[in-house]
Amino acid sequence: MNGIENRLDSCTVTVSPPLNADHEIIDIPEALLQSLNIVGKVTSQGATFQGAEMIYNYERLLRQVRCFPSISSPMGCSVNVILFL
């Protein structure tokens, strides 16, 4: 496998059901995103990450994505990760 085959261009994290801003928050590791030159965007549907990077670094990134209930709600959310190779 060469270096190109070991890289991803993007990754999508979905939450189900979609986030309710009054109840749930997705936290993404901004410092790691910046150090890897990956752009991250959070929406009510989840988060998207874009930037050519090694699969290993995307795995590091995904391990740090968290979905939390907001302070005003005990509800949580479930996170599904979809990798596009």
State how far the Cα of 63 lies from the Cα of 16, in Å rounded to an integer. Answer: 18
Instruction: Give the tens place of pLDDT for each residue, 32-48.
Output: 999 999 999 999 888 99
Give the total number of structural domains in the chain: 1
| Domain contains 48 | yes
| Domain contains 31 | yes
| Domain contains 74 | yes
| Domain contains 11 | yes
| Domain contains 1 | no
Beta-bridge partners for 54: 7
Is the model's pLDDT at 72 over the cut of 70?
A: no
pLDDT band at 19 (very low <50, low <70, confident <90, very high): confident
pLDDT for position 25: 83
Domain with 14, as residue range(s), is 7-84
Higher pLDDT, 56 or 21: 56
Higher pLDDT, 14 or 40: 40
| Domain contains 54 | yes
